[in-house]
Structure 1
Amino acid sequence: MIRKLCREDHGRVYAFLAEEPSFNLFLLGDLEAFGYEQAFQELWGDFTEDGALRAVLLRYYDSFVPYAKGEFDAAGLARCMIGYEGFTLSGKAAVTEAFEHVQGLSLGKKRSMYFCECRDAAAAVLVPAHGIKRAHLEDASRIVSLRHTIEDFVVPPDAEERFRKSMTSKTGRTYYIQENGQAVASAATAAENSMSAMVVAVCTHPDFRQKGYASRVVAQMIRDITAEGKTLCLFYDNPDAGRIYKRLGFQDIGMWNMYR
């Protein structure tokens, strides 16, 4: 049986997701920040005949994130996604791949990435910490301007609004290095929750690369996040980037798929 989840379900939903907090950081982060009664966010649960929760599906705007521990009703949850134009689907590879076989569900291009986590700052403390700033609300335009210089980045029209929203909701933070008043390298977190956070938008301006700036920014993030008792996570598909992250203390724990 599939039904909408509500506040009365929170205890069992949270316990279900908390068994794998790294893989569920988007679900946990959005759930802690926004709950069950927002126009831009919905959650559905897939229950067995005896009432046990076996899968959860989150909609955050036009992005869907599923999670399950074993077999679940992929076709039933897919019906919750049909009707949303240009949606994205992302999550643990073993879970998202169940939706590839659902008839009538049009998934976008698949991108598979390594999912890794960092639980301590032993390697990060060896990286220089000088010159790194933590962004504030008034830094939105300079951070977004930097992202526009990155060829591989898709920067949405409302990027500054999203930046401010993540900060005010405490679901994300940004660190950066500047030269002559210009942000030249930065990294951010997303889906921060009480147990974990995701590293996103790691970038360096093309004119300031090969200086180790991105590593310094991520190292500062590791030091701060782990000091708060949280696990820092990220996904990558570039082997060169993977080697850099592993030198900072990240370890692969599985695969993550995204369809858009």
Structure 2
Amino acid sequence: MIRRLGQSDHDSLMQYLSEEPSINLFIIGDIESFGYESEFQELWAQLNDDGNYEAVMLRYFHSYIVYAKSDFDVQGFADIMNADPDFSELSGKASVVEAFEHNRLNKLGNKISTYFSELKTDDFHSISSSQDRVKVATIEDIDRIISIRSKGFKNYSNRPNARESLLKVMESGVSRTFYTEDQGEMTSVASTTAENSLSAMIVAVCTLDEHRNKGLASEVMTALCKQILSEGKNLCLFYENPKAGAIYKRLGFKDIGIWNMYR
């Protein structure tokens, strides 16, 4: 049986999702931020005859995330998404969302696959003995963050509402940026996003070309990981190139699956 979830389901749902807090980072974060009554957000679950969860689906505007541990009613969830005329995106652990391929969804877009990696406190290894230069950004630093991201990531400055989006997540407390600087210019940065009570996602790790090979990224990442882990949260991240994942493996990150996005 698939049914819509409400506030009365919160405790049992969070218990189910927290068994894999990193994989469910986005679902947990959106529940904590927006609850069950928002017009732009809905949650459904498939429950067995004993009332235990078998699968969960989140709708955030017209984007969907599906989570399950084993076989589930793929067509039942597909029917809900197919009923959304503005459906735009499906994402989740590859072993789950690949079940929607083969014409299950009317408008399944192009697939993007990335490695999904997790860091727990017991696995953490510092890769820099010095983090004295690392600072945590404030709202006043937004333009400097935008500047270094624009230099480090192709087409970042062309993203619609980049500044507005960054301001929103920083003000809401679900994103932090750690950085080094030289003469007022940020030289290396790493940010968290989708922070919730159990986990946080690392994004936008970047060092200016002229400041590479100085160990700055190691300093920033070590400081970020120490701080977030000390708060009792797991860390996770996506990466595409195995070579680019080397620094994360040195910190103690372990691959826990492949994350697919269809858009």
In angstroms, what is the RMSD of aligned CA positions? 2.2
Query: 1:149 aligns to what?
Result: 151
For 1:154 and 1:97, the matched residues in 2 are separated by 29
Among 181, 194, 197, the residue aligned to 2:197: 194
Task: Calculate percent identity across the aligned residue pairs.
Answer: 48
Q: What residue identity is the alignment partner of 1:254?
A: G
Runs of 4+ in 1 over 6 A off after TM superposition: none
In the TM superposition, what whole-angstrom CA distance separates every residue of 1:195-235 from its partner, at most 9, and x where no partner exists? 21111111223343333322221111110011111111112
In the other structure, the counterpart of 2:134 is 132
Q: The residue matched to 1:194 in structure 2 has which SS?
A: coil
Residues 1:55 and 2:55 are matched in the alignment: yes
Structure 1: how far apart are the matches of 2:85 and 2:221?
35
State the TM-score, normalized to the length of structure 1. 0.90
Change (3 A) 1:72 1:255: same
**How does the TM-score come out when normalised to structure 2?**
0.89
Distance (whole Å) between structure 2 residues aligned to residue 150 and residue 107 of structure 1: 31
Residue 48 of structure 2 is aligned to residue 45 of structure 1: no
CA shift for structure 1 position 68: 0.7
Residue aligning to 1:245: 248
- How far, CA to CA, are the matches of 1:23 and 1:132 in structure 2? 28
Contact 1:2 1:76 in 2 (8 A): yes
Relative to structure 1, is the Cα distance of residues 132 and 25 closer, same or farther in structure 2, using a 3 angstrom cutoff? same
Tell which deviates more after alignment, 29-38 or 100-109: 100-109
Shift of 1:8: 1.1
- Whichever residue aligns with residue 95 of structure 1, its letter is V
Using a 3 Å threshold, how does the CA distance of structure 1 residues 96 and 152 change in structure 2: closer, same or farther? farther
Contact 1:75-1:102 at 8 Å conserved across structures:
no
Q: 2:27 maps to what in 1? A: 27
Contact 1:186–1:202 at 8 Å: present in 2 too? Answer: yes
| 2-structure distance, mates of 1:71, 1:233 | 25
Matched residue count: 260
Q: Structure 2: state its 5+ residue gaps.
A: none
Residue correspondence of structure 1 range 196-215 to structure 2 within 5 A: 196-215=199-218
3-state SS of paired residue (2:243): helix
State the 1:98 CA deviation.
0.9
Change (3 A) 1:93 1:39: same
Which stretch has the larger CA shift, 15-24 or 108-117?
A: 108-117
Contact persistence 1:125–1:223 (CA under 8 A): no
Is the 8 Å Cα contact of residues 36 and 42 (structure 2) preserved in structure 1?
Answer: yes
- CA deviations 1:52-89 (Å, max 9, x no partner) are 32111112234321101111122222233333547232
Matching residue of 1:98? 99
Structure 1: how far apart are the matches of 2:39 and 2:163?
Answer: 21
Q: SS in structure 1 opposite 2:79? A: helix
The verdict on how the C-alpha distance between 1:28 and 1:202 changes in structure 2, with shifts beyond 3 A counting, is same
Match of 1:217 among 220, 234, 244: 220
Q: Specify every segment of 5 or more residues in structure 1 that has no aligned partner in the other structure, as ranges.
A: none
- Structure 1 stretch displaced more, 181-190 or 41-50: 41-50
Deviations 1:11-65 (Å, cap 9, x if unpaired)?
1211111111121111111111221122332212223355432111112234321
Shift of the 49–111 alpha-carbon distance from structure 1 to 2, 3 Å rule, reads: same
